[in-house]
Amino acid sequence: MTATMRAVVLDVPGRVRVQEVPRPTLESATDAIVRVTTAAICGSDLHLVDRKIPGMEKGDVVGHEFVGIVEDIGDAVTTVRPGQRVVASMFPACGHCRSCMRHQYRTCPSFQIFGGGPGFGDLLGAQTDYVRVPLADMTLVEIPEAMTDEDAVFTGDILATAYQGLAEGGVRRGDSVAVVGAGPVGQLAVMCAPLFGVDQVFAIDLVPERLEAAKALGAVPVDARIGDPSDAVFDQTGNLGADVVLEAVGNEAALETAWSVVRTGGTVAMIGVLYDEAWPVSAGDNWLRAVTVKPIVGDPLTHRHELLRLIETGKLDPAGIISHTMDLDDAAEAYQLFKEHRANKIVLKTGATP
């Protein structure tokens, strides 16, 4: 009889449930099995569950942000060993192909996203008790002993995504930055901005709690319910607009806002998940504005070591944005809270301990 475990799975579109599924086993010599201790819920999980990104079927396991203990490793795994506490990159990659050499992991032949559905490699998700981790040497990294799961889990996706937006967005010291969407990713971008020499960050959102959270992290809050966000940004940038804009929502309204606040010659980094949205301006309009566009998938593999170090040295405090710590069994309720903006960031605990 196969052993089973709990997993958060798609129930009906828009809803998850916790159910028993077969426990994964090693399938390849480069795999590891990780006993999950902490898994976080991400905005992209909602996109998948709500089927904005199509492909997830009833019973598919979700989740790509996780920390755990290495339980078992394949014969070819050399850099992690059982018993180690590790954080995973939200996607595995091979580490030696042409794309990986260029840090363009998205086009690595081995690129898959945990719990990303059939469109992203059909790899099972990580909001579970156990998860199979392909290419464990690349995908996993040990967590410094003194660091909490709650801090480390952010380096597997959203902290790396926010940081990557600023890095790839080409932010320079003294630039003004606008973040469209003050959810967890936007808040982390605000948190990271001083590391790039930025002291003026606008956080644009419609949700008062999110604006408050961004403000507490040092952002200038811009409430898009009250006026045109571009007025606030242009008024406070000498009528120029923001040098770099991070679109951290992933919908057409947010794209429109992003293009309305970017300066001529500025950059829009698209860090929100997009699927089939139209461009907010014509190609010619974009050319005339000389706006550089960067579509970004967060890159934990490139940035996790520096991020772990920045957390260790107290320069970043990602766990500070967690509003709810809940049991994996309560995932359905957690998703609902997150979807309704009644929770800022939720981590699920499996109850497993090192």
CB nearer another protein, residue 69 or residue 281: 281
Note the helical H segments in the chain. 43-49, 98-101, 136-139, 149-152, 158-168, 184-192, 208-216, 229-235, 252-261, 283-289, 300-312, 331-339
Give the residue, chosen from 5, 94, 207, 293, that forms a contact with Zn ion under the rule CB under 5 A: 94
Total residues in contact with Zn ion, by rule CB under 5 A = 9
Report what 206 binds from another protein, Zn ion, none; CB cut-off 5-8 Å by kind. Answer: none
| Residue 42 contact partner, candidates another protein, Zn ion, none, CB within 5 to 8 A by sort of partner | Zn ion
Nearest to 156 by CA among 117, 127, 121: 127
Least Å distance between CB 284 and another protein? 5
Residue 128, binding choice from Zn ion, another protein, none, Cβ under 5 to 8 Å by partner class? none
Report 194-223 residues binding Zn ion (CB under 5 A).
none
Least CB distance to Zn ion at residue 120 (A): 12
* Amino acid identity for residue 258 in this structure: A
Q: Quote the least distance from Cβ 196 to another protein, whole Å.
A: 23
Q: Write the CB contacts of 31 (distance below 8 Å, at least 6 apart in sequence).
A: 73, 74, 77, 132, 133, 134, 135, 136
Instruction: Write down the least CB distance from residue 162 to Zn ion, Å.
Output: 11
Strand segments (E) across the chain: 4-10, 16-22, 32-40, 65-73, 85-88, 130-133, 140-142, 176-180, 200-205, 220-223, 242-247, 262-270, 292-295, 324-327, 346-349
Q: Are strands 200-205 and 220-223 parallel, antiparallel or unpaired?
A: parallel
Q: How far is the CB of 213 from Zn ion (least distance, A)?
A: 18
Angle at 328 between CA 323 and CA 330, to 5 degrees: 75
Nearer to another protein, 192 or 204 (CB): 204
Please pick, from the candidates 151, 157, 205, 243, the single residue that binds Zn ion as defined by CB under 5 A. 157
Least distance between another protein and beta carbon 182 (Å) = 22
x-or-dash string of contact with Zn ion, 41-70, rule CB under 5 A? -x-x--------------------x-----
Contacts with 173 (C-beta within 8 Å, 6 or more apart), sequence order: 196, 197, 198
- The reply to whether 108 sits near Zn ion by the rule CB under 5 A is yes
Binding site for another protein (CB under 8 A): 228, 230, 234, 238-241, 260, 264-265, 281-282, 284-285, 288-289
DSSP state of 236: T
Of these partners, Zn ion, another protein, none, which one is at the site of residue 264 (CB under 5 to 8 Å by kind)? Answer: another protein
Provide the 3-class DSSP secondary structure of residue 109.
coil
Contact footprint for Zn ion (CB under 5 A): 42, 44, 65, 93-94, 97, 100, 108, 157
